[in-house]
Structure 1
Amino acid sequence: MRRLPPSEATGLRTGARHSLAEVYRPADLVVLGLGVMIGAGIFSIAGEQAATTAGPGVILSFMIAGIACLLACLCYAELSSTMPTSGSAYTFTYVIFGEVWAWIIGWALILELQFAAAVVARAWAAITVGAIEHFGVRVPAGNLVQDVLVLVILVLLTGVVALGARVGLRALWVMVSAKLLAIGAVIVVGVTHIDVANFGDFFVPPKTLATAPATVLETLIGEGHAFGWFGIFAAASAIAFAYIGFDIVATSAEETVNAPKAVPKGMIRSLVLATVIYLAVALVMVGMVPYTKISPQTPLAGAFRAVGVDWMVHVIDVGAVLGLTTVILVLIVGQTRVLFSMARDGLIPRRLATVSRRYHTPTRVTLVIGLVAIVLAEFVPVLTMQQLVVIGTLFAFAFVAAGVIVMRRRMPHLERGFRVPLSPLLPALSLVATLWLMVNLRVLTWAWFALWMAFGLLVYLVYGRRHSLLARPNTPARPPQGRHRR
């Protein structure tokens, strides 16, 4: 239960707490957040949930999901302003709850970010093949082309991250700007084809599902439901997956100028902007076509074809490819920073915390992350396991919300660049909202998550517990060979 002292969470105890160059400014953090929160799902998730779960009430689902994520974002903002470190929720937990819990959160973040990179890379390859075919180019049947594309995108983006934060940031600005233009075109053109009658009554009568209960909540109730208020809240749980990613902005704190002020602003602004953009696309989606006629497979593209604007399909394809490209890039950046923090604390091999003298980035751990992502995307059916990404994230959300309440009581003297208003009420609401989202995940997801965490605890007992720097107080503070000192 040993805890990391707050003064050492952002200090020079390990010789590396501030060895990452400061490259991010407030506007960069907003782009970082939009880069990971707005992917290809913006063109599909509203239609999918409207057609199968919530009807026109999906608009309310987006609002509910946005509010739930905003509560979590406020909690992240306070802790990030107090401890501006690249470890994010892992380091917060280390200081507040202790090493064992920090390891558990770090292990959950590894699950979230590593699986997410593989899942999105696989989806990126499938969407890219579809976009090529929409331009009239014949693609050979089978998975070979997709396998090659997965390898290419992961090698390329891993290289971009390894070459330095500035290189990745420039690429991110270009791609995020381009995909926002594509989304803007979707909204502007779509608005001209909205039929107000398609919104109808937001509240569609509930319907009992014939399928066996799949989620924890459905299992407790004994049956599944769609539409009605149950459907609206169920859709909100699925939609929350689209907003996840603002927490990765917190991993950039160590590389941000005036982080205690800039990081909270960057997270909150990016989440609010993403929520507004998702709502705008959802309004266009539901307004263009009655929810009963939406195709769950290609909702937005099908809607534009239905109103005779076929050329918008190509705009959607380009936006989706760019959207997923930026998501992969930011996921690799976030995973790199979390593992970097765990390595320099000694919980995983410290050699992974080496910073390249030439590129001033944790190149070694970046290459490891890229290699693991390639193996997962190529040889594991990751698309069937994407809820593991969500449960890992929500698990960290719960600890961050609880952490705000506990830290206010235990460490009221710490300087905070941002404070959650109405604490402890809002952090408590964040915790409740997070638990609600978690019970809407599949029972099978919980089972896989339990196995992953049990394996992680075993790894900690075998390696991390003994190699932790807190277990070796006389360990020299100098960084491993090759580490860059500013």
Structure 2
Amino acid sequence: MYRPADLVVLGLGVMIGAGIFSIAGEQAATTAGPGVILSFMIAGIACMLACLCYAELASTMPTSGSAYTFTYVIFGEVWAWIIGWALILELQLAAALVARAWGAIAVGAIGNFGIRVPNAELVQDILVFVILVLLTGIVALGARVGLRALWIMVAAKLLAIGAVIAVGLPHIDPANFGGFVVPPKTLDTPPATVLETLIGEGQAFGWFGIFAAASAIAFAYVGFDIVATSAEETVNPREAVPKGMIRSLVITTVIYIAVGLVMVGMVPYTKISEEAPLASAFQAAGLGWMAHVIDAGAVLGLTTVILVLIVGQTRVLFSMARDGLIPRGLAKVSRRYHTPSRVTLVIGLIAIVLAEFVPVVPLRELVVMGTLFAFAFVAAGVIVMRRRMPDLERGFRVPLAPLLPALSLFATLWLMVNLRLLTWAWFVLWMAFGLLVYLVYGRRNSLLARPRTEPLRPAHGGRHRR
């Protein structure tokens, strides 16, 4: 069973990773400049609003499945399937994408030690395969095994990040911040995001770039919602799960802003390397040896991200299988390891196929899209549930409701329109395919489709409505 501190580590394990070691530098160099610090704040505030909504629903329905389960109880089976399908996209694609990034960083770390890596692409493919097999095995063996490994790796990466902040602070030049908001720049390329399409031109930097970067940076905060999937395995989940989500998100936001200040403060944003932003900043300050610390932190950081993503995906698919929307055999728990090992192995296999054979890196925004789509339903769910079931026991209540849930919904939609039009198109295609799967399989095999002589045993104890 998870303790309150375990849930904080779970959240830190999945959120502290790509945002620090790659996304911040990339967005600073191409979109927001030093204003990337404000982008982290904006994305953090938007995610905190969503986190409060998740906290209320998780304290009311402390079961596996997170947004999928909440939607099932509040809006019914069809909408639950839609959210579950979006979560599959988010978590499965994120695991494969982070694994690719992990492989690239691992190969780079080997090279930074002066070891020549022949056929780096092949070595990266092998490393990606090995890490996914290893972490899938850890999750399949049992929650406690994975949790022990997670504690050790999170502690180690926090030490590495602490070193980055402590060593970098004395080398900050306030002139590099330049008031944070640099003059906007009109791009020669056609409008890419939905918002750019509406205004008729593409822009970077300025406030437009800061908000656009916030949408991309939302990828860095993906994962606090995974804490909610552990509710059935947590001691006193009505209180522990909300606290775990909120505390881990607050800590992550503070760390991201601190590292971003160091990176942007050490070197002008025009000189930040997109491939290795943190390492290049320290090299420019004559602290090249810090590259090894950063490499170690990045490898450990992304390892924990993959691990927790697999855990979260396991719990979501397990809940969907219990409801019959996907094959019920995936909901079987291993008698030996007391884990849903069958669905874990399926998730690991799909992640390997995606990471090895699909160009997942350009699809990063799809992960953000799937996440924000779930955020929107959770925010709406709080408003609807307050009206329909006002007397239901809640371990945590969103303050100033329905104002804050409405603000969460607005902030989520704003981040979504700052995503590329191509991302929206791919997402619509994915969801259309999901509806087809539901009509062909899920609707016919769900709990609601059972003959009346069979007892209904909903996984989440809520009302089942179509």
Same fold (TM over 0.5): yes
The answer on 1:227 being equivalent to 2:233 is no
For 1:52-67, list aligned pairs within 5 A. Answer: 52-67=30-45
Distance 2:456 2:443 in 1: 19
C-alpha deviation, 1:143, in angstroms: 2.0
Asked if 1 retains the 8 angstrom alpha-carbon contact of 2:18 and 2:220, the reply is no
**Equivalent position of 2:463 in the other structure:** none
**Equivalent position of 1:120 in the other structure:** 98
Distance 2:349 2:149 in 1: 21
C-alpha deviation, 1:165, in angstroms: 0.4
**Equivalent position of 1:7 in the other structure:** none
Over residues 182-239 of structure 1, what are the superposed CA-to-partner deviations in whole Å (9 max), with x where a residue is unaligned?
0000000000111122222222111111111111111111111111111111111111
Distance 1:36 1:405 in 2: 28
C-alpha deviation, 1:65, in angstroms: 0.9
**Equivalent position of 1:475 in the other structure:** 454
**Equivalent position of 1:431 in the other structure:** 409
**Equivalent position of 1:277 in the other structure:** 255
The answer on 1:180 being equivalent to 2:180 is no
Q: Could you say what secondary structure the match of 1:436 adopts?
A: helix
Distance 1:115 1:401 in 2: 24
C-alpha deviation, 1:56, in angstroms: 1.9
C-alpha deviation, 1:447, in angstroms: 1.1
Which segment drifts farther, 459-468 or 287-296? 287-296
**Equivalent position of 1:387 in the other structure:** 365
Distance 1:349 1:474 in 2: 21
Q: 2:71 aligns with which of 93, 104, 126?
A: 93
**Equivalent position of 1:11 in the other structure:** none
Over residues 318-359 of structure 1, what are the superposed CA-to-partner deviations in whole Å (9 max), with x where a residue is unaligned?
110101100000000000000000001111111110001111
**Equivalent position of 2:382 in the other structure:** 404
Gap regions ≥5 residues in structure 1: 1-22, 480-486
C-alpha deviation, 1:475, in angstroms: 2.7
Which segment drifts farther, 224-233 or 184-193? 224-233
The answer on 1:201 being equivalent to 2:157 is no
Over residues 292-326 of structure 1, what are the superposed CA-to-partner deviations in whole Å (9 max), with x where a residue is unaligned?
22222222111111111111001000110101100
**Equivalent position of 1:211 in the other structure:** 189
Q: State the percentage of identical aligned residues.
A: 86
Q: Which amino acid in the other structure matches residue 35 of structure 1?
A: G
- How much is the aligned-residue C-alpha RMSD, in angstroms? 1.3
Asked if 1 retains the 8 angstrom alpha-carbon contact of 2:132 and 2:348, the reply is yes
Asked if 1 retains the 8 angstrom alpha-carbon contact of 2:34 and 2:180, the reply is yes
**Equivalent position of 1:304 in the other structure:** 282
For 1:32-43, list aligned pairs within 5 A. Answer: 32-43=10-21
C-alpha deviation, 1:463, in angstroms: 1.1
Distance 1:51 1:377 in 2: 27
The answer on 1:259 being equivalent to 2:242 is no
C-alpha deviation, 1:179, in angstroms: 0.4
Over residues 97-134 of structure 1, what are the superposed CA-to-partner deviations in whole Å (9 max), with x where a residue is unaligned?
01000000001100111111111111111110010010
Q: Could you say what secondary structure the match of 2:8 adopts?
A: helix
C-alpha deviation, 1:476, in angstroms: 4.7
Distance 1:474 1:141 in 2: 61
Q: Which amino acid in the other structure matches residue 453 of structure 2?
A: N
For 1:109-148, list aligned pairs within 5 A. Answer: 109-148=87-126
Q: Could you say what secondary structure the match of 2:383 adopts?
A: helix
Q: Which amino acid in the other structure matches residue 376 of structure 2?
A: A
**Equivalent position of 2:317 in the other structure:** 339
Q: Which amino acid in the other structure matches residue 313 of structure 2?
A: Q
The answer on 1:242 being equivalent to 2:220 is yes
C-alpha deviation, 1:477, in angstroms: 6.5
- Residues 315 and 142 of structure 1: is their aligned pair in 2 closer, same or farther, counting only changes over 3 Å? closer
Distance 1:430 1:290 in 2: 34
Asked if 2 retains the 8 angstrom alpha-carbon contact of 1:43 and 1:281, the reply is no
Asked if 1 retains the 8 angstrom alpha-carbon contact of 2:107 and 2:120, the reply is no
Distance 1:149 1:59 in 2: 33
C-alpha deviation, 1:142, in angstroms: 4.7
Gap regions ≥5 residues in structure 2: 459-466
C-alpha deviation, 1:478, in angstroms: 8.4
Asked if 2 retains the 8 angstrom alpha-carbon contact of 1:469 and 1:475, the reply is no
C-alpha deviation, 1:43, in angstroms: 2.5
Distance 1:161 1:236 in 2: 32
Distance 2:55 2:131 in 1: 32
Asked if 2 retains the 8 angstrom alpha-carbon contact of 1:40 and 1:321, the reply is no
Q: Which amino acid in the other structure matches residue 429 of structure 2?
A: L
Distance 1:149 1:291 in 2: 32
Asked if 2 retains the 8 angstrom alpha-carbon contact of 1:40 and 1:319, the reply is no
Q: Which amino acid in the other structure matches residue 454 of structure 2?
A: T
C-alpha deviation, 1:46, in angstroms: 2.5
Distance 2:310 2:157 in 1: 19
Distance 1:429 1:477 in 2: 37
Asked if 1 retains the 8 angstrom alpha-carbon contact of 2:447 and 2:456, the reply is no
Distance 1:384 1:352 in 2: 30
Asked if 2 retains the 8 angstrom alpha-carbon contact of 1:172 and 1:326, the reply is yes
Q: Which amino acid in the other structure matches residue 203 of structure 2?
A: H
Distance 1:447 1:478 in 2: 37
Distance 1:429 1:370 in 2: 37
Q: 1:295 aligns with which of 270, 273, 281?
A: 273
Could you state the TM-score of these two structures normalised by the residue count of structure 2?
0.96
Distance 2:32 2:367 in 1: 23
Distance 1:195 1:328 in 2: 35
Q: Which amino acid in the other structure matches residue 414 of structure 1?
A: L
Could you state the TM-score of these two structures normalised by the residue count of structure 1?
0.92
Asked if 1 retains the 8 angstrom alpha-carbon contact of 2:19 and 2:256, the reply is no
- Between Structure 1 and Structure 2, how many residues are aligned? 457
Over residues 403-436 of structure 1, what are the superposed CA-to-partner deviations in whole Å (9 max), with x where a residue is unaligned?
0000000111210000000001100110011111
Q: Could you say what secondary structure the match of 2:171 adopts?
A: coil
- Residues 284 and 303 of structure 1: is their aligned pair in 2 closer, same or farther, counting only changes over 3 Å? same
Over residues 30-79 of structure 1, what are the superposed CA-to-partner deviations in whole Å (9 max), with x where a residue is unaligned?
00000000114302332222222222222211111110000000000000
C-alpha deviation, 1:363, in angstroms: 0.6
Distance 1:292 1:374 in 2: 36
Distance 1:391 1:132 in 2: 34
Q: Could you say what secondary structure the match of 1:361 adopts?
A: coil
Distance 2:267 2:381 in 1: 44
**Equivalent position of 1:81 in the other structure:** 59
